[in-house]
Amino acid sequence: MYFEGDFENNKPSGRGVWYLKTGNVVEGIFTQKPKEAGEDEEPVEEEEEGAQPKKKFDLIWQSDTNISKSAYMVNSVEQ
């Protein structure tokens, strides 16, 4: 399984496609939302002196539904 698309902040961002081991393909969009201070529940790692803190992001995935395309294929009747 792998993701093909753009990356920002070393994470998927924008339109992309998941290719699954079963041969299925899932298209959609990733949105990155910066985490606010205090939202981080992970253990705090000690940072090197002088290093800038790493920004953290929540990733939101929204799959394309293609429902109208599927409905047309099921309900269309050629005359």
Domain boundaries defined on the chain: 1-35+54-64
| Count, residues in the chain | 79
Q: Is 71 helix (H, G, I), strand (E, B) or coil?
A: helix
Q: What is the dihedral of CA 16, 33, 50, 42, to 10 degrees?
A: -100
Q: Which helix (H) or strand (E) holds 39?
A: none
Instruction: Give 28's contacts (C-beta < 8 A, 6+ positions apart).
Output: 15, 16, 17, 18, 61, 62, 63, 64
Q: What is the pLDDT along the chain (79 residues), one digit of tens a residue?
A: 999 999 999 999 999 999 999 998 999 999 999 988 765 555 555 657 777 777 889 999 999 887 767 777 777 666 4
Calpha distance 9→68 (Å, rounded): 34
